[in-house]
Structure 1
Amino acid sequence: MKENTPNNKPMQQRKRKAVDLPDLGYDLNLAASSSGDTAERGGDGQQRRLWVKNRSKDWWDKYNSADCPDDEFQKAFRMGKQTFEIICNELTASVAKENTMLRDAVPVRQRVAVCVYRLATGESLRLVSKRFGLGISTCHKLVLEVCSAIKDVLMPKYIQWPNSDSKKAICDEFRSISGIPNVVGSMYTIHVPIIAPKVNVAAYFNKHDTDRKQKTCYSVTVQGVVNPNGVFTDVCIGWPGSMSDDQVLEKSALYQRADGGLLKGVWIVGGCGYPLMDWVLVPYTQPHLTWTQHAFNEKIDEILKVSKDAFARLKRRWSCLQKRTEMKLQDLPVVLGACCVLHNICELRDELIEPVSVVEVSDDERMVPETALRSEVAMKARDTMAHNLLHHNHAGTSIL
């Protein structure tokens, strides 16, 4: 007969000791079975138990309440309660989860709120976790799930290239701004800071920001085309920060569509980081400009201001774009795309931004492309436009 040594105790006694755990500040929830019992039993007859940490949901309960003032809600989530409700309704079918025997699913409104708040404030997942009374890993998962749903469900609806009818209205409005005909979009590229990646780090090195901030910077790019109201009609997201504006453009689907004839007869206006092409109109960059060229550049700047202001509002709304993110590199394009979609929804619904949060974009201060002139036809067309603007009294007079 064996002795009851510390390593050789009767099975019943060892089981009993396993149950006598110290109080760690967690609730012990018993999973309900389909028959209405308070516990589910395993094969050995023991109850299956789930440890859930006590977390306060007071902050979220306040903002989820019908009594929460709209201005307070707008300040926290960068959108009014009605806009938030519309987004929740459109995403319900994609993000809703069923309750399980072990726990209740996080409600749709809370799922969407976690994502929108994280994008709006750029707060760490630890702080977001405390706000919503959820685990850190749960919040991280919710952000990615909701961003993916925004990409799949809302992006095709809210980021659309203009059709023939809206294209004419856009051209007319840009012409009223600048006097330049047949402009269908204003194009700009920003860089979103990231932590140095573990692989291919040189590709993401951002020389422009490194020189400007005097510290090593890494980034990914967001190229966008906007209409006169600052609403994105095309985005290209996620190319490494070492790439110039013209290299990003060449990698974009927009470039491929232009090669297929989509942009025949119209212009997209870009800054000096882009080349002059049959469908890309850029300012004169050579030294010693004539008065006509100066006047033309002033009008180009008025169109470029539309996209620069749109990107400034994008960064102001979604503060996650202003700081190095904790997210993995492969998750960033979906998250940045969600920011662009939510920007469009807010712009279309005239959601205001706090005036105290001012963000300037300076990403256009980059190198001129190696081949700045890629079309003799475009060069002649630009000269004709510049001449007409000055001599038909459409150009500004600040340089005269």
Structure 2
Amino acid sequence: MGDEEEQQRSLMFLLTYMLLKRRRDINHADIQRRDEIQRRIRHRQYFFQRQRRMLMMMIAGGMRSNVRIRTRPWTTTPRSDWWERVVMTEFQPSDWLDKFRMSRETFFYLCEKLRPRLARQDTSFRLALPVEKRVAVALWRLASNVEYRTISALFGVGKSTVCRCVRDMCHAIVALLSSTYLRPPTEQELEESAQLFHSYLGFPHCVAAITTLHTAIITPSSNASDYANPAGWLSVLSQVAISGQGYFWDVCASFPGGTDPAEILQNSALWATAAEGGLSPAQTPVFMGKPLRYVLLGEACYPLQSWLMKAYPEQKSRRGCRTALPEPQQLFNRRLGRALRASEEALLRLRARWQCLSKRNDCGLDVVPTMMLACCILHNMCESHGDAFKAEWQVEVCEAENPQPCHKALAPASMDQSDAEEVRGLFCDYFQQQRT
């Protein structure tokens, strides 16, 4: 009997402990549930109060705008619905071109292409910006280079949002559109470019010109002297290859402004591609009765190669006086200079359309190269879609920007290719035959 009583007491003790523990767990769960309910109530109260304040501000802004005399409905509108109420409903084709540097059709084409990278989900407390508005904010910045706070007030978004839109769109353009608008040319495009260089610029057997672009920047936190270009101001240096159509085929960005252009070229993918014959058809074309790959044109700072032609340098006598070049070499230099001016005009169109490249860019150094690539891609897209270009944009750039530096230092003769002089002689012979 003693053992049975002991077992019963143990069982009663265990049941009592379990009942007490269960009651404690239930009480704890009730407390957590009440706390969660109170937290949600506070959040909802905060949300409704915030929505009420925003509604009152919108109503007050609408009342002020009703009594304001305006010459044009969208020039002085401070409301956050300016994008939906004005741009999407009242903008004319000329407005789209002036403010976004592209037609309405090209704008929405761009939005659809970038949607996979730019679309965002709504949250419980905030609606995500539509892709179209994010693209518009970024394009406004690229086209005008105005301050973030100006765009922030115009579109009714925060300055940090403007910065994020610019970064996100530039990265999305490079990731999604490079393969379409910034890629190596096809054989047909090579032939078309060679025909344009020949017929319009007077230089045969050439498919592209290589040149440089300096983008002004704010003083970096370190190694500022490396970014001083030959003109004395701070910049980021980019190397571009421009076709006869004015398209950018290759862009190599992100170098300090004081970098030697020849060094950039030798370390770029363009050098390897051209040296291996990648810028000529599979069947080598014939020039002056000899098989010769298509050539590129470059400034005097680049090394002379069998595929890269540059001007003959000025000759000096032992006394240091300049001596005139032979007539064939002078003629070659004039024709090459004329062809290179076409590439300068393409760069001017690029800087005029996207003025973030012509004025001092206050973005971080990690953003400027991506922005440069994005602008070249957008340029090619607008040109291929046939969007209009306004001449007054070029006037604005020529009046506002610092002149592009001139790289006068010649590339060392040791960098020249041994058989390149013979190729340059063929072009001299061709131009002489054309004169007779």
Contact 1:63-1:73 at 8 Å conserved across structures: no
Q: Residue 339 of structure 1: CA displacement?
A: 0.7
Q: Distance in 2 between matches of 1:335 and 1:252?
A: 19
- Indicate yes or no: 2:278 matched with 1:282: no
Q: Distance in 1 between matches of 2:313 and 2:81?
A: 57
- SS of residue in 1 equivalent to 2:125: coil
Report the equivalent of 2:231: 209
Report the equivalent of 1:391: 433
Extract unaligned runs of 5+ from structure 2.
1-35, 58-77, 281-292, 316-323
Amino acid of the residue matched to residue 419 of structure 2? V
Report the equivalent of 1:223: 239
Report the equivalent of 1:68: 91
Contact 1:278-1:377 at 8 Å conserved across structures: yes
Contact 1:271-1:364 at 8 Å conserved across structures: no
Q: Give the counterpart of 2:374 among 306, 315, 338.
A: 338
Give the stretch that moved more between structures: 245-254 or 312-321: 245-254
Q: Residue 79 of structure 1: CA displacement?
A: 1.2
Q: Residue 44 of structure 1: CA displacement?
A: 7.8
Give the stretch that moved more between structures: 247-256 or 367-376: 367-376
When residues 127 and 372 of structure 1 are mapped into structure 2, their CA distance, relative to the original with a 3 A threshold, is farther
Runs of at least 4 residues off by over 4 Å: 40-45, 50-55
Q: Give the counterpart of 2:388 among 344, 352, 358.
A: 352
When residues 178 and 119 of structure 1 are mapped into structure 2, their CA distance, relative to the original with a 3 A threshold, is closer
- Indicate yes or no: 2:355 matched with 1:319: yes
When residues 282 and 41 of structure 1 are mapped into structure 2, their CA distance, relative to the original with a 3 A threshold, is farther
Counterparts of 1:60-209 in structure 2 under 5 Å? Answer: 60-61=83-84, 63-206=86-229, 208-209=230-231
Amino acid of the residue matched to residue 228 of structure 1? G
Q: Residue 41 of structure 1: CA displacement?
A: 5.5
- SS of residue in 2 equivalent to 1:192: strand
Extract unaligned runs of 5+ from structure 1.
1-39, 211-216, 395-400
Q: Distance in 2 between matches of 1:47 and 1:250?
A: 60
Q: Distance in 2 between matches of 1:238 and 1:42?
A: 53
Report the equivalent of 1:257: 273
Q: Give the counterpart of 1:46 among 24, 42, 46.
A: 42
- Indicate yes or no: 2:300 matched with 1:272: yes
Q: Residue 252 of structure 1: CA displacement?
A: 1.6
Report the equivalent of 1:4: none
Q: Residue 78 of structure 1: CA displacement?
A: 1.2
Q: Distance in 1 between matches of 2:134 and 2:40?
A: 37
Q: Residue 227 of structure 1: CA displacement?
A: 1.3
Amino acid of the residue matched to residue 385 of structure 1? F
- Indicate yes or no: 2:79 matched with 1:56: yes
- Indicate yes or no: 2:391 matched with 1:369: no
Q: Distance in 1 between matches of 2:426 and 2:382?
A: 38
Contact 2:214-2:404 at 8 Å conserved across structures: no
Report the equivalent of 2:253: 237
Q: Give the counterpart of 1:301 among 328, 337, 354.
A: 337
Contact 2:202-2:339 at 8 Å conserved across structures: no
Q: Residue 247 of structure 1: CA displacement?
A: 1.8
Amino acid of the residue matched to residue 155 of structure 1? S
- SS of residue in 2 equivalent to 1:65: helix
Q: Distance in 2 between matches of 1:172 and 1:294?
A: 23
Q: Distance in 2 between matches of 1:126 and 1:342?
A: 24
Per-residue deviation, residues 223-267 of structure 1 (Å, max 9, x unmatched): 111111111111111111001221221222212323444246221
When residues 371 and 76 of structure 1 are mapped into structure 2, their CA distance, relative to the original with a 3 A threshold, is same
Amino acid of the residue matched to residue 282 of structure 1? K
Amino acid of the residue matched to residue 337 of structure 2? D
When residues 260 and 382 of structure 1 are mapped into structure 2, their CA distance, relative to the original with a 3 A threshold, is closer
Q: Percent identity?
A: 30
Q: Residue 156 of structure 1: CA displacement?
A: 1.4
Q: Distance in 2 between matches of 1:104 and 1:367?
A: 55
Q: Residue 185 of structure 1: CA displacement?
A: 0.7
Q: Distance in 2 between matches of 1:62 and 1:75?
A: 18
Q: Residue 337 of structure 1: CA displacement?
A: 0.8
When residues 372 and 313 of structure 1 are mapped into structure 2, their CA distance, relative to the original with a 3 A threshold, is farther
Per-residue deviation, residues 140-160 of structure 1 (Å, max 9, x unmatched): 011100111101011211112
Q: Residue 64 of structure 1: CA displacement?
A: 2.6
Amino acid of the residue matched to residue 188 of structure 1? T
Counterparts of 1:11-22 in structure 2 under 5 Å? Answer: none
When residues 325 and 41 of structure 1 are mapped into structure 2, their CA distance, relative to the original with a 3 A threshold, is farther
Per-residue deviation, residues 105-130 of structure 1 (Å, max 9, x unmatched): 00111000011110000001111101
Q: Distance in 1 between matches of 2:152 and 2:37?
A: 32
Report the equivalent of 1:329: 365
Q: Give the counterpart of 1:381 among 409, 420, 423.
A: 423
Report the equivalent of 2:9: none
Contact 1:244-1:369 at 8 Å conserved across structures: no
Q: How large is the Cα RMSD of the aligned pairs?
A: 2.2
Q: Distance in 1 between matches of 2:363 and 2:204?
A: 42
Q: Residue 354 of structure 1: CA displacement?
A: 2.7
What TM-score comes out, normalization by structure 2 length?
Answer: 0.75
Per-residue deviation, residues 253-301 of structure 1 (Å, max 9, x unmatched): 2123234442462211111221211211111122321221111112112
Q: Distance in 1 between matches of 2:238 and 2:86?
A: 32
